[in-house]
Structure 1
Amino acid sequence: MLKKMIWIAAIGLLLLLAVLTVRTLSFSPVATTPVTPVTLNVDVATVSQHLSEAIRFQTISYDNSAKRDVAKFRQFIQWVQQTYPLLQQQLELTPVNELTLLYRWKGQDSTKAAVLLSAHYDVVPVTPGTEKLWQQAPFSGAIADGFVWGRGAMDDKGAAVSMLEAITLLLQQGFQPPHDVYLALTHDEEIGSSEGAAAVSALLQQRKVNLAWSLDEGSFVLRQMVPGVAADVASINVAEKGFLNLQLTVQSPGGHSSMPPAQTAVSILALALTRLTDQPVAGGIDGLTADFYDQLGPHMAWLQRMLLANRWLFGPLLEHELSKIPTANAMLRTTTAPTMLTGSIKANVLPQQASAIVNFRLHPRDSIDAVLAHATQVIADPRVELSVVQGMAASRVSDKQAAGFARISEAAQRAYAAPAGTAATDLIVVSGLTIGGTDSRMYEAVAKDSYRFNPMLLTSAELGGFHGNNERISQDNLHKAVLFYHTLLGSL
């Protein structure tokens, strides 16, 4: 009997291994048609100089809009108009508001659905006291070591300048698009887009302009940032997360710290925050996340391919391991991040009120109400009052099968095509999810599809410059970005 059971177990194991192997072997990259690299003469030194000049305008967005130096924004607009005269001569500048620019490039047939390219030129502040940690001064626009340095180089003046340069080249070549093309340069993306992109969207709605698609910032070409994938990965994101700022408040009698009760307002609040972070919103490899890994999995090494090809068996293990990686975890679920705390006004005074703000980044599968219900259930303490400070649902999911996605993908592949005769691996293009917020969510009202992608190659070291120290973009990236936008617009 025992021998028979061993034989049955062995046969079952062999069958399981066979199933795993067959599924892994069939989980292979889809054959693609080779693309022709872009051949275009780009004056990289001039592009770099123009970005350097753009960075020097301290177009800083503060949470307190009263701190905005409007003069710096006006100076940037004047600089755009002086630096790119062909745009002023051949494109129609549509008044939106004082600080956001919207250009209309009239096409051969304006009855066809238009497209919109967008970038923002406002930047986040440099944290006071960190200036000395920068290798180049934050607003110097220094060109050194093959990079252009400064706040906004990546987020998002690099893209804005690259678009302007590409359109200028096309105008010099006498190109006219087959349909209208709109270019938006917005001024308040870093503080919610309530004036810039929102006004652009409202104006286009008022004029009954229908956009086939829009393209704004999002992900990048990622190098050695996807575990198990050796090739560069271009993630053209088809959706973005929403957010919920939830305030937790605890009331207490207060008093002198020499006679504390068993639990103070602070300790009750701390326990609530610990519960929220220890019990995150349920995630999973499904929907957009599953699609992302289904596209990347075939390009991975054997072990990773096997795990992803057989999620029916290894799904819980995969989710557990991916949850340990912050970027991967953000793709899996709605994330939970306590960000702000207030308590007593003095070290020896028990607070009468302690409060915290928790920032949730909402996965498209979750709603604001669902996350609020989750927080209430997890905290399970009536002494903790929950109130929604601000929230926005996740975007809708755009179509990765649509013509717009295909054109963006082709332009990226051509800009980053491996030179003939080299051992370099061609670019892998996937659809993904933007884990932050962009202007794109404002364009959904007028665009059938909204895509999020910056055509610049980043490593994890460069990614750290986002809203941090030593923000910079390589001159090679600027070259590739101009190639991308020129190819994208020139092939419409």
Structure 2
Amino acid sequence: MSVPYGKVPEELPGLTLHRQTTSSVSSRAAKTTLLAFAALAVTFFTSTSLDTTGVNLCPQAPALIPVKNNALWETLTEIYGTEAFRLKAVDWLSGAVQIPTESYDQMDPIGIDPRWEKFSVFHDYLAKAFPLVHATLELTKVNTYGLIYVWKGSDTTLKPLLLAGHQDVVPVEPTTYDTWTYPPFSGHFDGNLIWGRGSMDDKSGLIGILSAMETMLANSYQPSRTVVLASGFDEESGGNFGAQTLASTLLEMFGENGYAMLVDEGGGYGEQHGRVIATPAIAEKGKANVMIEVTTPGGHSSLPPPHTSIGLLAAFLVAFERNPFDPHLIRGSPVYKNYQCVARYAPGLPDSLRKDIIDAEYSDKALQSVEEELFRDTRIKNLVGTTQAIDLVTGGVKVNALPERAYAVINHRISVESSVAATLNHDASLVEPLAKEYNLSYTAFDDHMDGEMIPSGLGKVTLSTVFEARLEPAPITPTEEDAGPYQVLSGSIKAAYNSHRGISGDDHIIVSPGVMSGNTDTKFYWKLTSHIFRYGHMAGVVGGTAPPGIHTVNEAIAASSFVEIIRFFTTLILNVDESPLV
């Protein structure tokens, strides 16, 4: 419970004053105790190097090493550390990258669009590369190319662990082929990096899971808890043919809230202010693609009106860019929690900012200071707020013909503290006054929106949603100290990180809640579990930002990083299998 803002808290977080309550305590003694505590607080907050060891920010789970399956875990730890396994892992991922599995924004359904057929080749590769997985697990194909692997556990009373990773990759722009160090689908290994489209997003996730399963099966592992792997094939183009159809089958298999937890692609770990911090995303922004369309009478361009449809559209777009959404850092939000962890554990954070983050739990002034400082980095500002990006624009057909139609599409990623309705109302409020000014009829989203609809005018401006329509922000996954799945995930991250480096201890890597800047296939899986994590244990990922090289030229991943991904999924499967917290 928060202390009323504007008041000094009786007790600072993590600094508990133990009071005597008997009647024998004199008022003088009580005053002396309070003065001593006040002095302690002043010392704490004015130190040139703030000590936060007693502050209850960002509590951490210990590194979680399997107990029941410890012998197997130790064996696999040794195997994963060998050069032979590193080269085997390279072969697995390199082979997957060599098969182009691009998905595009506009594709016809399965059986009509021939571009889907390349996924059959990819499936053949998976069957050949992972023979034990395909001989042992039950495989269900959904809508031809969606994959559900079920690794049946011996205890059917336990809810399954659900893992996910998609097969498709973003298309490679043909004009960029010559700029790649190695061809984008070569899967070239240079002794350090595995190059090619999908090496990071997200074949490293899917192949990492299958590699872990294959190796565990080769070492005679039989789970107690069922493990399910769901793999869509059009995540990069919305997931409507893939994950959306998989969701129905997954729901039929184990029911609503029938899975213990779900881990899909997402965050990783990287250095923040001198500390390595992993940020599994516990939330995901919503989305809306808003089309603004202006139509006006045509004619010969030698007799133009004051404003053509293109000119009018330009005026509207300028209004959008001059009036961005006003983001705010909210207590309890994923980014707020992330910076509580940074304040608690990162030595490189300026002390003034650290103090403000600590005080922000009770002080609006401190919270505002934190917001102003963090939002100097536009990446953080964009993670927090609703964003807008004008990505498409079209208008006109001929140089001497007045354009009768011009349109643009604005992509919104909606803050986890906002909604689709608030986003659309914001857009409508920008368009309405300009529509009146230019005497245009005006409709917005075919629904009642804030503001008056203008029925007639010299032209028309229309707001509508296109491309996947509207997606609300995802429910936020619990991360409290009694949230078992988050604790198991955190402990598994730490154990995998340590194992890969041959170290031990609980504080070499800190685990912090985060938020996804984009969307994943999990948007279709909300009914399956309330414990959804978007995390891939990929190195070099800071906060909710994407790793360098993703969705662009020269995508590549270090072989060592890919082996660590395999370690992570192995550790997670073993820990979830035996943990009473899940």
Partner of 2:250: 204
Give me the whole-angstrom Cα distance separating, in 1, the residues matched to 2:220 and 2:377: 48
Q: Which runs of 4+ in 1 moved over 6 A?
A: 14-19, 420-425
Decide whether the 8 Å contact of 1:160 with 1:185 is kept in 2: yes
Give me the whole-angstrom Cα distance separating, in 2, the residues matched to 1:442 and 1:33: 29
Describe the superposition over 1:90-109 as per-residue Cα deviations: whole angstroms up to 9, x where unpaired.
Answer: 11112323111111111111
1:207 Cα deviation from its structure 2 partner: 3.0
Give me the whole-angstrom Cα distance separating, in 2, the residues matched to 1:343 and 1:319: 40
Give me the whole-angstrom Cα distance separating, in 2, the residues matched to 1:30 and 1:100: 38
1:423 Cα deviation from its structure 2 partner: 12
Q: Of Structure 1 and Structure 2, which has the larger fraction of its residues in strand? A: 1
Is residue 2:197 matched to residue 1:120? Answer: no
Is residue 2:133 matched to residue 1:96? Answer: no
Give me the whole-angstrom Cα distance separating, in 2, the residues matched to 1:64 and 1:164: 29
Unaligned ranges ≥5, structure 2: 1-38, 66-73, 441-460, 578-582
Q: Which residue among 375, 379, 396 is the counterpart of 1:327? A: 379
Give me the whole-angstrom Cα distance separating, in 2, the residues matched to 1:348 and 1:88: 63
Residue 90 of structure 2 aligns with an amino acid whose one-letter code is: S
Moved more, 201-210 or 212-221: 201-210
Decide whether the 8 Å contact of 1:249 with 1:355 is kept in 2: yes
Partner of 1:160: 206
1:306 Cα deviation from its structure 2 partner: 2.2
Decide whether the 8 Å contact of 1:40 with 1:483 is kept in 2: no
1:32 Cα deviation from its structure 2 partner: 4.9
Decide whether the 8 Å contact of 2:498 with 2:504 is kept in 1: no
For the pair shown, which has the larger CA radius of gyration, 1 or 2? 2
Decide whether the 8 Å contact of 1:368 with 1:392 is kept in 2: yes
Partner of 1:238: 282
Decide whether the 8 Å contact of 1:288 with 1:433 is kept in 2: yes
Give me the whole-angstrom Cα distance separating, in 1, the residues matched to 2:62 and 2:41: 37
Give me the whole-angstrom Cα distance separating, in 2, the residues matched to 1:52 and 1:273: 44
Is residue 2:358 matched to residue 1:309? Answer: yes
Give me the whole-angstrom Cα distance separating, in 2, the residues matched to 1:332 and 1:410: 27
Describe the superposition over 1:18-69 as per-residue Cα deviations: whole angstroms up to 9, x where unpaired.
Answer: 7954896555766757637873312011111111110111111012324553
Decide whether the 8 Å contact of 1:247 with 1:358 is kept in 2: yes
Structure 1 residues 323 and 254: alpha-carbon distance in aligned structure 2, compared to 1, 3 A threshold:
farther
1:15 Cα deviation from its structure 2 partner: 13
Give me the whole-angstrom Cα distance separating, in 2, the residues matched to 1:58 and 1:421: 38
Is residue 2:88 matched to residue 1:46? Answer: yes
Give me the whole-angstrom Cα distance separating, in 2, the residues matched to 1:183 and 1:302: 44
Describe the superposition over 1:92-149 as per-residue Cα deviations: whole angstroms up to 9, x where unpaired.
Answer: 1123231111111111111221111010011110012011111111000000151101
Partner of 1:9: none
Structure 1 residues 190 and 33: alpha-carbon distance in aligned structure 2, compared to 1, 3 A threshold:
closer
Partner of 2:106: 64
Partner of 2:428: 376
Decide whether the 8 Å contact of 1:36 with 1:417 is kept in 2: no
Is residue 2:484 matched to residue 1:432? Answer: no
After superposition, where does 1:138-157 map in structure 2 within 5 Å? Answer: 138-157=184-203
Q: Which residue among 448, 451, 456 is the counterpart of 2:533? A: 451
What is the TM-score with the length of structure 2 in the denominator? 0.76
Structure 1 residues 280 and 318: alpha-carbon distance in aligned structure 2, compared to 1, 3 A threshold:
farther
Decide whether the 8 Å contact of 1:175 with 1:490 is kept in 2: no
Moved more, 480-489 or 346-355: 346-355
Moved more, 196-205 or 449-458: 196-205
Residue 331 of structure 1 aligns with an amino acid whose one-letter code is: L
Is residue 2:308 matched to residue 1:264? Answer: yes
- The alignment's C-alpha RMSD in Å is 2.8
SS of corresponding position for 1:358 = strand
Decide whether the 8 Å contact of 1:334 with 1:363 is kept in 2: yes
Give me the whole-angstrom Cα distance separating, in 1, the residues matched to 2:574 and 2:166: 22
Moved more, 258-267 or 449-458: 258-267
Describe the superposition over 1:259-298 as per-residue Cα deviations: whole angstroms up to 9, x where unpaired.
Answer: 5443332232222222222222232111333222222222
Partner of 1:464: 548
How many residues end up aligned between the 2 structures? 475
1:303 Cα deviation from its structure 2 partner: 2.9
After superposition, where does 1:467-486 map in structure 2 within 5 Å? Answer: 467-486=551-570
Q: Which residue among 244, 248, 251 is the counterpart of 2:295? A: 251
1:324 Cα deviation from its structure 2 partner: 4.2
Moved more, 76-85 or 348-357: 348-357
Moved more, 177-186 or 64-73: 64-73
After superposition, where does 1:164-179 map in structure 2 within 5 Å? Answer: 164-179=210-225
